[in-house]
Every structure is written in C-alpha cells, then in structure tokens.
Amino acid sequence: MSHKDTHIKLGRNTAALIITNRQDQVLWCKRGETAPFLGSYWAFVGGMVSSLDLQVSTEPRSILKTTALREANEELGLELKIDELNLDHLEWVGSWSTPPYLPKQIICDFFTIEAGSLGLEHNSLPPFAKRQKDQELEEVAWASPQEFYQRWQQGQVTLAPPTLAFCRAMAQQQTLAQAATLYPELLRLNQVTPSIQLLPLRSATLPPATHTNCYLVGTQEFYIVDPGSKIKSELDKLYHEIEHRLAQGDTLLGTILTHHHHDHCAGLNDLRSRYPQLLFAHPLTAQLLKIDDYTPLLEGQTLAWKDSVQGQDYIEVWHTPGHAPGHICLVHHRSQTAIVGDMVAGVGSIVIEPDDGDMEAYLDSLERLKRRGFQRLLPSHGPPIANTNYLLTHYIQHRLEREAKIYQALPQAFELNQGAGELSWLSLAEVVAKAYSDAPAVVKKGRYGGLAGQAALSHLIYLEKQGKVLCSETKATTKSRWLAYHPYLDRFAHSLVRLKAMMNTLRVQCPWDRKQSLNSLKRYLIEESYEVLDSMSDEQEHREELGDLFFQILFQSVIREQDQHFDLADVFDALANKLSRRHPHVFGDLHVTDATEVKDLWQSIKAQERQKKAEQKNKQETISEHVHQQQTSLLSGIPKSAPALLKAQLIGEKAATVGFEWPSVEGALAKVDEERLEVIEAIQSGTQEQVLSELGDLFFAVVNVCRHMDIDPQRALESTNQTFSKRFQYVEYLAQQKQLDLKQLHIDDLEELWQQAKAYLTS
C-alpha cells in the first residue's frame, strides 16, 4: 500500500527496517513480552517517530528513514552514524496501516537495507545477542524468508499482516514494494495461521473496542465464529470472504458461537438466512438466546475439517464459564492457538457482570488457559495475543489485586455488635470510590459505579462465597451494602451449627421432641416469652431464658425443614432482608432526620409490603372484595394472637398514622369519662353483653390516653399489678400477725389494713 499521507505525526507514524545479508537471510526480531504493542510477535526492528527525528528534516521520507536507523541503533546496540550518506542506503518498500479494530491508527513505513551498510558481517548477530533481555526485543535471529514462512505455517511464530506479506514476497522472490498488491486480502483480514483468518467487524460492543472479531476457521472446509455485527456494510465484508472461499471450492460447514452476548451474535439471523448451515453452541448459550435449532457443543468435543496438507484437522471445545455461563474456547492444538472469545481482550477490558458472570469460574478458566501454555490467543476484541503467559498472569494478578483492594476498602466486623451501628456498611458506589481510585473516571461513571461497579459487585459476590464479606441482603444487588467478615465471627457459626445438629438429633432420638408439632409448641412459645420478660433483671437468668426462647424458634424451623418448607437459614435470611428493606436510611440512599421520620417510614414500607402481598395472593386466588379490603387494610398486619391490651395499643397507633385520633390528651381523657359513665349506665339498666362492650370501650379509651402520653399501657398495668400485689401481700402479713381471717373481715376493716400497708410500703 503506497504512502499517501505526507504529514508525519508523533504517536501515529512509525518506521521499520528489513535487514538482509548476502546469504538471502533476514534479521528477525522477537518483541519482548512486556512490549506495549505486539508483545512476543516476530517482526522487524523499528519504532515510533520521535520529536528528535522531526528536527532532522522537513521531508517525510527522510524523517522516517532517520527513525528506522535510530531504532536500529537503540534496539540492536549499533553505533551507526545517522547522516545523509547512510540514509541513502535505505530503500522504501511500502506503507501499512493498523487494522480497524485498534482504536488508534498507526502507519508504518518499511525500508530495506543490506547488513553490511549497518556494519554487520554476513550472518553475525548484532551486539544485542550478548545483552540481557530487553524491554523492546526478546530475541533476534538470522533466517531465510522460506524458513521463517515455514515456521509460521507450523504455528511456531506469530506475525502481523505486513510482516507476513513481506515474508511471503521474499520467500517467493517477489518485489517487496509489490507485497500489498500481491496479498491484498491481508489489508482487510489477518491470516493468523494457515487455518484461521481474523475478520474484524464493526459492532455495538463495549468501548474503547469498536469491532468484534469474526473468525473463519478451516481450509478446504471452514466454520464462521461469532458473527457479531448486524451492520449491513460489515456483514457484506463477511459475505465477501465467504463467497471468495466458496468460489475457490471450499465448503462452509456452519457457524459457531463462543457465547450469547449481543456483540457476538448480532448478525446470526442474517447469516443463517443466507447460509442455513448448522449452528453450533453450548446448550446454556442456546438457552439464553432461546434457540432450538442448533448442535450442542460440550467440553472435549471436536469440530473437524478437510485440510489439503494435513488431510484432516480439528478444533477442540473447552467450556470456560465465568464471563458467560455457556462461554467456550476453541482450541487448535496443531498451531497451539485458542480462539478465546471474551476471556481476554486485545483492546479494552473484560467485564464480569453479576447477572450472568461468575468471578470464581472466570478466574478458574483463566488459570486453565494459562496452564496449557498456548502460542497465541485470539480474542474477540483487538489483535491476536502472542505473549500469552504474561498476559494471562497479568489478568489473574490484576483481578486478585483488585479483589484485595475491595476487601481492604470495607470496614472490618471484628465483633457483631460493631456491625449494629458503630461500623458503616458501604454501598457499591462507596466501595468503587475506595477500591478503584486508580481507575479512569470513565469506567466509574454511573449511579452504582458504572463498569467498575459491575466488576466490583462480581468480586463482592465471589468474596461472599468465600466467606470473606457480609452482604445486607440474601441476594446481592447494586443496592446492597457490604461489610468485611472477620474470623471472630466463626465462633457464632460454630455455636449455631452445634445447636442445630443437637436439635436434629433430639427430633429423632428423644420421644418427647419427636412427638411435638407446631400446634403443641404454641403454648411454650408464649410461656418462654413471658419468662424472658421476667428474667431481664438478672443477667444469668436472662441469658438462659433467651436460649429457651430461641430453642422454640429453632424447634419450629426444624419441623418446617422436615416438612421441606424452609429451614433456619431461610428464617435468618428473611429477617436480614426485612431489616435491609425497612431501613433504607441505613442500608440505602434515603436520609432521615429523627426517630419520628423513621417510624413514619417504617409504617409506609409495611403498608407497601401488605399491598404487595395482597396483590400476589389475589393473583393466585379468587376472593371476595370484602376479604381483599381486609387484606389491604392498615390494620391487617396486627397479629391475631396478640394479647388484647397490646392489640388495642397497636390499633390506636396505626389509626393515628392517618390522623384518626384526638388532637390532645385532654380529648382522650374526656373520652375516658364518657366511657366510664356509659359503663355505669350499662350496669344499672343494661344486659351482661352491654356491660362487656362498654368496659371494652373504657379499656380502649384508657389505652389511647397512654399512647398520647407515650406510656406503654402494658408497663403501666404491670406496675399497678406489682404495687397491688405487694400491698395485698402485706395485708395478708398483717392479718396473720393479728390472727385475723381475711374472709371474715368487714370491708372497713380490710380498708384499714390496706391503708396501713400502703403507708408502710410508701415509707
């Protein structure tokens, strides 16, 4: 391809030097695996135009020649003087531009020079061979173009399209300046190996990538891998290559999908309508795409094709989940090459989305690829990768380092009581802000941390699976809050597991525990609850009674587990989810100012939950409108089995949330007087049912007074119960001391004893 742009730009223009000797050999250079561009590729010595090169001349060709000689000096350890005489020895043979899948265009001009002009004798290696491994070059070697082309055919070396074009031209003793016209297909696709062609297609993929690589695999028979573009002009490029192959007598065997993401199968329907050959995919990929007409690909299967040289060749399927459930790699063992889909990328990065990704599986798949030690990896975005071990090691280490940063960003829950408030559970956005401080702003753009947030959530889910972090909800979402787990918490897990195992044993081996049912346990739950209340003044008793109460909860959950309904973990998870759901001001983004707002918020959330439950139930059952109204009522959440006094308190509180209450305590007190008079009237002239009803009204009115005064009616009555009991017991004591029979005493005598007890206890 001739050089048309005469303007030289820093960062865009490069120059390379094809050095030949008198034995028709070429000096080949293997780039270092850490090189920023084409690491571990075999190429020619060369590099970017520098600002110093621009000062030498204003003529583009002279600038590029200067660059080529300077790079030869720096990379090969030469000390050649760069002057006009030496520049005259360079012959321009062509210009190539980088393929469209690279976001930045680089134009490279190629020159040839005879080794003697550089001071190199015959096939002697430059001083580089005596030095340690360099950042730019890893190895240099003299070899004939025929020998090197054969090494490429055998999959031993990786060449970029222009290097392959020049190698072919030299091997066939053709003019190098005509290389681009001799092999025009290399201007639009990359012939990675004799069996694999890379055709980049512009697609709706994740920036900075702009293309998805479509691969043509096979020689006399071939497959299409990942038709990821639905743009007509891009599909026409693919169809042109297919028709060209078919015109040569090759046979299309079918289409293969590495996974289900849109930028890998967008053109599938159009392609199949034109070429209705077989479709090959992993069953999970087909399921996600809702495709029935396909041939399943499972771990270890092979897809073969006829080969003019080998007779037959094949690729092997590797199931490599992590980025997607049905993700596969296609391994060509003969050339030590793997088409790896979205396991790695030559442009951009790989995102493990929480919805269909799995960080643990992804890391395992990367380790598997690394252990195999491929010569090259063919990603879906960007150029082929030759520095495979370096890149896979980098990917794995980068993920682990990022995971460590995420863990370190979280507050450590050294003790459970700290998690109750002294430690702030972090949101996903807060985790990203701390753990991705070194990442570009563009990847963190978005409410939950953008792409970085997706990656962080996948890491957090993996950390939770490892038992290293705690999530505020059973199923992690972008709205979840996070806390770092600490081994101290294992004490609680150990105690709970031991207790659960003992309960299961009792349910089998103890006759009494074995015969219990949910109905028979009701009374014990109530009794143990009251015993907890009685024990609160004594630390040791309180601990034991709490254990007895928890035993009832454990017992009931074990019965439910045996009936295959739910288990204790489900109980805990449901409670954790409810706490998270009803405290959006703690585990969400909502802000409140005081306890009153919290209480109002709580009631609002509960009302929404009741409404949602009613709607779900109505979808499953046909019920009357009256029952529906009861289910969605503000009062429908009050426990039916609650004691009457508590129930009266709850009813008053809920009715008050919509303004159904006296504006002041005076109004509530007046209602007490009104109900008292109605009780007297009912006693004088009413029936027993009327008296019961009016007494109930009086109780309810008194409870409303308590609520206005922010007094718990249960505590008020219990206080009176205790006071009355102490006084009455002292009355009994006085009567015993005076040898009096309480049953025989007149009411006035009883009143006298009562006043004595009252005075004594008060003093």
What pLDDT does 623 receive? 43
Contact 227, 235 (CB under 8 A): yes
User: In this structure, what is the dihedral angle of CA atoms 738, 743, 744, 748, given to the nearest 10 degrees?
Assistant: 80
Partnered with residue 523 across adjacent β-strands are: none
Chain segment 80-119, per-residue pLDDT in tens: 888 888 889 999 999 999 988 887 889 999 999 999 888 8
What pLDDT does 617 receive? 67
User: Strand 251-256 to strand 190-193: parallel, antiparallel, or no bridges (unpaired)?
Assistant: unpaired
Chain segment 252-263, per-residue pLDDT in tens: 999 999 999 999
The CA-to-CA distance between both ends of the chain, in Å, stands at 112
What pLDDT does 639 receive? 65
Question: Looking at the predicted structure, is the pLDDT value of residue 42 above 90?
Answer: yes
Percent of the chain with pLDDT over 90: 50
Contact 19, 27 (CB under 8 A): yes
Chain segment 587-642, per-residue pLDDT in tens: 877 888 888 787 788 778 777 877 777 776 666 555 444 444 445 577 776 767 66
User: In this structure, what is the dihedral angle of CA atoms 538, 542, 543, 546, given to the nearest 10 degrees?
Assistant: 180
Residue 633 phi/psi, 5-degree rounding, is -65, 155
DSSP-assigned letter for residue 106 = -
pTM for the model: 0.74
Nearest to 135, CA basis, from 35, 15, 28: 35
* Per-residue confidence band for 431, with pLDDT thresholds at 50, 70 and 90: very high
- Tokens at residue 82, please? 């760069």
Phi-psi region of 376 (alpha: psi -120 to 50; beta: other; left: phi over 0): beta
Contact 43, 70 (CB under 8 A): no
Query: Cis link prior to 208 (omega < 30° from 0)?
Result: yes
Nearest to 12, CA basis, from 83, 60, 70: 60
Contact 149, 156 (CB under 8 A): no
Partnered with residue 18 across adjacent β-strands are: 112
- Tokens at residue 370, please? 């690394």
Give the integer Cα–Cα distance in Å for 312 and 89. 47
Partnered with residue 304 across adjacent β-strands are: 314
* Per-residue confidence band for 423, with pLDDT thresholds at 50, 70 and 90: low
Strand, coil or helix: what is 27? strand
Distances (CA, A) of 568 to 129, 466, 550: 69, 21, 11
Give the integer Cα–Cα distance in Å for 334 and 192. 13
Residue 447 phi/psi, 5-degree rounding, is -60, -40
DSSP-assigned letter for residue 89 = T
What pLDDT does 610 receive? 74
* Helices marked H in 155-254: 161-171, 179-182, 232-247
Residue type, 523: R
Strand, coil or helix: what is 759? helix
Mean predicted confidence (pLDDT) in 225-243: 97
Mean predicted confidence (pLDDT) in 319-335: 97
What is the Cβ-side half-sphere exposure of residue 165, based on CA atoms within 13 angstroms? 25
59-73, 410-424, 480-494, 499-513: segment of lowest average pLDDT: 410-424
Mean predicted confidence (pLDDT) in 197-223: 95
What is the Cβ-side half-sphere exposure of residue 309, based on CA atoms within 13 angstroms? 8
